[in-house]
Amino acid sequence: MTASLPNSHSALSHSMFQNVVFPAESALESSDGNGQSLADDSLMLRRLLRFVPPPDARIEEIPVVVFDFETTGLDAQQDRIIEIGAEKLIGFEVVDKFSTLVHTNVQLTPQIQQLTGISPDMLAGKPPIEQVLPEFFKFIDGSLMVAHNAEFDWMMLKAAATRLGYDVDLPCFCTLKMARVILPALENRKLDTLAGHYGLEFTPGSRHRSAGDVRVTSEVLRNLVTVDGDGLECWKDLQPYQVV
């Protein structure tokens, strides 16, 4: 798969999407002690999606993708993504959107169906993750990633990517971490609490659906940075809130 790369002379010239040879997991367990594989066929071709913005790049000038997943559960290895929602922002204005349900053979528990409102019938006939993820990678290439409680969504994304032969090395930061520092007086920093604090509302039925959560998270991010985030101007200012 190919993805468009920013102009090599632009401030965003640090993005790359390339093929890289990595040792397969079995090779890591079968070496001569010096890191050399003992098997000629132990290398596998993986695809690397990478973006390293310049430290002084201004936040308002870098593409930012706010994203959210709905999943079958909380285990990145056993559970699967069933919905992806994302908005691409430049200068905190929405310039593009990505939204899709994702078919999976993993059973949806009654708890997940009740929480999200997503039923097995809704996933029938939807594209599988093998089809969706490469398209999502095109969408996010060359962007900062943002989510609320981002550790979970980032863990799910990297696990899904690994299963499909991708390695993702994009900066991802968390509005939950930001709010804990910027808004210490709030009772908690749940998304609903932050929405109430900033006078935001979820449209009916949109809570715990990816597109709805993303829309509110985008507005929370804008307020955290431009209203309450004194001194948050460049990418380096956001690094304390980054997840790995």
Contacts of 9 (CB under 8 A, 6+ apart): none
* Residue 87 backbone dihedrals phi, psi, to 5 degrees: -130, 135
Q: How much is the pLDDT for 30?
A: 35
Q: What percentage of the chain carries pLDDT values higher than 70?
A: 82
Mean pLDDT computed over 198-217? 92
pLDDT tier at 231 (50, 70, 90 boundaries)?
A: confident
Q: Is 197 a catalytic residue?
A: no
**pLDDT, position 34:** 37
Phi, psi of 129 (to 5 degrees): -60, -30
Let me know how long the chain is.
244
What rounded mean pLDDT belongs to the chain? Answer: 85
Q: What is the pTM of this model?
A: 0.83
Taking the C-alpha atoms of residue 123 and residue 118, their distance in angstroms, rounded to an integer, is: 8
Domain ranges of the chain: 57-155+173-243
Going by pLDDT thresholds of 50, 70 and 90, the confidence category of residue 130 is: very high
Q: Euclidean distance between the first and final Cα of the chain, in Å?
A: 25
What percent of the chain stands above pLDDT 90? 76
Residue type, 92: F
Architecture of domain 57-155+173-243: 2-Layer Sandwich (3.30)
pLDDT of residue 205: 79
Looking at residue 169, the DSSP 8-state letter turns out to be E
pLDDT in tens, 38-97: 334 344 568 999 999 898 999 999 999 999 999 999 999 999 999 999 999 999 999 999
Catalytic residue among 9, 14, 197, 208: 208
Q: Residue 197 above 50 pLDDT?
A: yes
